[in-house]
Amino acid sequence: MKPLQKKLSLYTIPQETKAKGIYPYFTPISSEQDTEVLVNGKKVLMFGSNSYLGLTNHPKIKEAAKEAIDKYGSGCAGSPFLNGTLDIHIRLQDELAEFLGKDSVMLFSAGFQANSGTIPCLMGRNDFVIYDERDHASIMEGKQITFATTYKYRHNSAEDLERVLQRCPVDACKLVVTDGVFSMEGDVAPIPRLVELCNRYQATLMVDEAHGIGVFGREGRGTCDHFNLLPDVEVVMGTFSKSLASVGGFVAADKETINWMKHNVRPYIFTASISPASTASVLAALHIMRSEPERREALWDNTRYAMESFRTLGFEIGNTETPIIPLFVRDNEKTFILTHMLFDAGVFVTPVIAPAVPSEDTLIRFALMATHTHRQIDAAVEKIYGCFKKLEIL
C-alpha cells in the first residue's frame, strides 16, 4: 500500500459509526423536498431542510425549469467566461442587482464557490482578511487560500473585531467577512456595529446572506436590509439552494468590484455555468418570493411557535433568532444516537458536530419551512422531547 492510501485507510470513524447503527449521512430520499419526504418507502417529517419558503416543489418553478430545458438544453458546456453565458443568466444577474440595489451581480455554479473564490481573488499580499470564528466553511476555505494576512475575531463580538482592526495598517486593504445568519446555531451577525467599525477603519464589509435571503428584510432581501444597511455593505454573497429553491450562488457589489472578479476569480472562469434549468428556477422563485409575502409571514409564525414549544419544555436553544433552532446535546455520540432515534420515530433532523461547531457544542439542527403546519411541529416536538428524555439530556 502506498503512503497516501495507507494514511487514508486509518480514517475509520464512518465505519465505526455504521457498525453501531447510528451513521446519519447520505440518506437517500425518493421524493420531492417537502414537509414530508419518502425514505426507503417510509414517510418522515422533514425538519432538516434549508427550503425556508417551501418552494422546491412549487409548480411554477418546476414549469420554468422544464421550459428552460426545452429552450436551452440541459447545460451550457462551458464557463461564463467563454461560451457559457446565456441571456437568461444576464436576466437573473440584472434582476438580482435591482433587487439588492447593487451595481452588478455575478453568478456562481455553487454557493461554496462564491465565497471560496471571491475572498482570495479580492485580497492578496499585504492585505488583511478578518473573519468571524464561526463563519461558514466556504469562507474558511477562501481565507485559507488567500495570500493575505488573516485574523479571526470572537463570534459576533464587535469589540474583538475593533481590536483586530486596530492591528492593521490604516492604509491597507481590509476585508471583514461574516455570515448574516449563522447556519448551525441560527444567530444573527451584529450588522450595524460591523458597518460602523468598517467605516471607521476603512475596511470593506462582505456579508454571506445564504440563510438570510428570503427570511429577513423587505421582500426577503436579507439581514443587511433587515437593519436598513444594505447600501452600506459593499459585498453581498448569497446562494440559490435555500429560499430560492435551486442550486448555485451569487456575489453582488459595485461595478468595479464585479468587473475585477469576472476576469480574475478562477472558480468562476474555469467552472461550467449554472444550468439553464437552475437559472430559470431561481428567477421563478425570486418572483414568487417577492409577490407572496404571506410565505415569509408563515415562516416566522412557525418559528415563533416552535421556539416557544421548545423553551416551554426546557430545551437549550441558544441565541437563535431565526427558523434555524439548535437543540444542544453537547455529546458527539448522543447527537448521532438522537438523529437515528428520531428518524425511526418519523422525524428527519440533522446532526451538527465538529468542525461545524465546537466539539462541546454539538446539536440537533431543527429547521422550519413556511409550509410546515402547527400540527407537524407539535408531532415533531413531542417525539424530540421523548428522545431527549430517554437519553437523559433533559
Task: Give the pLDDT confidence score for residue 360 in this predicted structure.
Answer: 87
Mean pLDDT for 252-267 is 97
Residue 357 has pLDDT above 90, yes or no: no
Task: Give the pLDDT confidence score for residue 153 in this predicted structure.
Answer: 98
Mean pLDDT for 122-148 is 97
Check if CATH label 3.40.50.300 holds for domain 59-291. no
pLDDT digits (tens, 9 = 90+) for 298-341: 999 999 999 999 999 999 999 999 999 999 999 999 999 999 99
Give the lowest-confidence range in 175-189, 224-238, 317-331, 345-359.
Answer: 345-359
42-46 β-sheet, strand order: 36-39, 42-46, 347-348
**What does pTM read for this prediction?**
0.97
pLDDT digits (tens, 9 = 90+) for 336-353: 999 999 999 999 999 998
Q: Which CATH superfamily is domain 11-46+293-390 in?
A: Aspartate Aminotransferase, domain 1 (3.90.1150.10)
Task: Give the pLDDT confidence score for residue 29 in this predicted structure.
Answer: 97
11-46+293-390 shares its CATH topology with 59-291: no
**Distances, alpha carbon 206 to alpha carbons 57, 231, 258, 324, in Å:** 31, 12, 13, 22
CA dihedral of residues 19, 20, 21, 26 (deg, nearest 10): -70
Domain locations in the chain? 11-46+293-390, 59-291
